[in-house]
A and B are shown apart, each in its own frame.
Chain A
Amino acid sequence: MDNNYQTQSGYLTIPEEIFLLSLYEKEGDTSLIHRKTFDLVLAGSILMDLAMRNCIDTDLEVLYPDRIEPTNDFVLDDVLMEIGTRGKNHQSVSYWLNRISLKADEFRDLIITSLLKKGILRIENKKIRWFSTALKYPVLGNAEVQEIRSRVREVVEHESGIPDIRDIVIISLVANSNLLELVFSKDELQKHTPRISQIGKMDLIGQAIAESLRESIVSNIKTRTRELLGLKDQSPEEKLEPLIEEIKMKFGIESDERLPEWLRKGTGQYLKTIDFVRSKGTANIVYNTYTGKYSVRNYSQHMHIFGSGQ
Chain B
Amino acid sequence: MNILKNSVDETIVLDIEGRLDTTSYPQLEAYMGDLLKQGATKIVLNLSSLDYISSSGLRVILKTLKEIDQKGGALYLCGLNDHIMEIFEVSGFTELFQIYSTREEALNNIDS
Q: Which residues of B have CB within 8 Å of A66? A: 22-23
Which B15-52 residues have C-beta < 8 A from chain A?
A: 21-23, 52
Given contacts A51-B55, A51-B56, contact A60 B66 (CB under 8 A): no
Q: Which residues of A have CB within 8 Å of B62? A: 162, 165, 168, 202
Q: How far is the CB of B53 from chain A (nearest CB, A)?
A: 8
Q: How far is the CB of A271 from chain B (nearest CB, A)?
A: 47
Number of inter-chain CB pairs below 8 Å: 53
B69 interfacial by beta-carbon distance below 8 Å? yes
Q: Mark A190-212, 1 if CB is under 8 A from B, else 0.
A: 00000000100111110100000
Q: Which DSSP category, helix, strand, loop or mixed, fits chain A's interface? A: mixed
> Quick check: A54 and B22 within 8 Å, CB to CB?
yes
A57 interfacial by beta-carbon distance below 8 Å? yes
> Quick check: A165 and B63 within 8 Å, CB to CB?
yes
B3 interfacial by beta-carbon distance below 8 Å? no
Closest residue on chain A to residue B56 by CB atoms: A57
A224 to B58, CA, bound (A): 40
Q: Mark A250-274, 1 if CB is under 8 A from B, else 0.
A: 0000000000000000000000000
Given contacts A57-B21, A58-B54, contact A162 B90 (CB under 8 A): no
A59 interfacial by beta-carbon distance below 8 Å? yes
Q: How far is the CB of B24 from chain A (nearest CB, A)?
A: 11
Closest 8 CB pairs of A and B: A201-B92, A57-B22, A162-B66, A66-B22, A58-B55, A57-B54, A59-B54, A204-B55
A187 interfacial by beta-carbon distance below 8 Å? no
Q: Tell me the B residues contacting A by CB distance below 8 Å.
A: 21-23, 52-56, 58-59, 62-63, 65-66, 69, 86-87, 90-93, 95-96
Interface residues on A, range: 20 to 34
A27 interfacial by beta-carbon distance below 8 Å? no
Closest residue on chain A to residue B92 by CB atoms: A201
Q: How far is the CB of B20 from chain A (nearest CB, A)?
A: 11
Q: Which residues of A have CB within 8 Å of B54? A: 57-59
A202 to B95, CA, bound (A): 11
Q: How far is the CB of A72 from chain B (nearest CB, A)?
A: 20
Candidates A54, A56, A204; contact of B91 at CB < 8 Å: A204
Given contacts A60-B87, A202-B93, contact A54 B69 (CB under 8 A): no
Q: Mark A102-132, 1 if CB is under 8 A from B, else 0.
A: 0000000000000000000000000000000
> Quick check: A59 and B90 within 8 Å, CB to CB?
no
Which A130-177 residues have C-beta < 8 A from chain B?
A: 162, 164-165, 168
> Quick check: B55 and A205 within 8 Å, CB to CB?
yes
A205 to B21, CA, bound (A): 15
Given contacts A51-B55, A54-B22, contact A162 B91 (CB under 8 A): no
Q: How far is the CB of A43 from chain B (nearest CB, A)?
A: 16
A164 to B70, CA, bound (A): 12
> Quick check: A203 and B23 within 8 Å, CB to CB?
no
Q: Which residues of A have CB within 8 Å of B55? A: 51, 57-59, 203-205
Closest residue on chain B to residue A168 by CB atoms: B62
Q: Which residues of B have CB within 8 Å of A59? A: 52-55, 87
A67 to B21, CA, bound (A): 13
